[in-house]
Structures are given as C-alpha cells and as structure tokens.
C-alpha cells in the first residue's frame, strides 16, 4: 500500500540555480525509481534559517509531496545524508486529514491564480 509523504530539504546557499535544480531532480528520481509517484512540489527559494547550520544562515528550501512504499523512505533518506549539498531534511508521513487539507489548499491556491488571470 502506498502512503503519502511530505519531505522538505534545505540545500546549501552557495549553489547556483542550475545546481539546485539538479539536486531536486536527483531526489525526484530517487522517489520515482522506487515506484513512488510525485503528487506536488514547491520551491520555497532562499530563506533565513532559525539558527546557523554548518556556519550558514540561509538555505534553499524545497518541498515534495509523494506517494510511496514505506520501505523506500530509507533509500531516500540515505541519499539525503550522502549528498553534501543537503544541510537538513525532514520526511513525514501524512495522515488522511493532512492529505485532504493539502489538496484543499492547493485547489484554493489554483482557483485564486485563475481569478487573477481573468
């Protein structure tokens, strides 16, 4: 059975935009290679950290929502740990209420964007 997960990772701020996109692509590939499916992703951009990590005060944040088998998480988190571009990561299993809330939030956001286009 596929569970829905949400992962947020922070990349080091010294990366160029192309290096950042390459890192995101790598982790999306890890998810899809383990028969996972990406539901949604958001690039939050460069943000200030709450406290310095590895003497850095900012980082590139990226969120990916995906469905996958529970045993595929170990592979994803191992890849996070091996990649020197990643300074922090967090992966959480979403409960059914969180999934519904997330879908409603995305639908509301897309409706607002459509209103702005008109």
Domain ranges of the chain: 3-117
Report the pLDDT value the prediction gives residue 118, as an integer from 0 to 100.
64
For 3-117, give the CATH class.
alpha beta
Report the pLDDT value the prediction gives residue 87, as an integer from 0 to 100.
94
- Dihedral (CA of 80, 39, 4, 95) sign: positive
CA-wise closest residue to 54 among 22, 17, 11: 11
**Residues 97, 50: contact at Cβ < 8 Å?**
no
pTM score:
0.84
The tokens of 55 are what? 């003497």
Report the pLDDT value the prediction gives residue 22, as an integer from 0 to 100.
92
- Mean pLDDT per 10-residue segment, the chain (118 residues): 90 90 92 91 92 92 92 91 93 88 85 76
């Amino acid at each position: 059975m596929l569970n829905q997960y949400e992962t947020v990772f922070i990349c080091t701020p010294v990366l160029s935009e192309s290096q950042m996109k390459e890192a995101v692509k790598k982790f999306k590939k890890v998810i899809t290679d383990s028969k996972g499916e990406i539901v949604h992703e958001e690039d939050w951009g460069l943000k200030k950290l709450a406290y310095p990590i590895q003497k850095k005060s900012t980082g590139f944040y990226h969120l990916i929502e995906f469905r996958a088998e529970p045993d595929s998480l170990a592979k994803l988190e191992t890849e996070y740990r091996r990649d020197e571009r990643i300074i922090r990561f967090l992966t959480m299993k979403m409960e059914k209420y969180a999934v519904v809330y997330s879908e409603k939030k995305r639908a509301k956001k897309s409706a607002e964007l459509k209103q702005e286009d008109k």
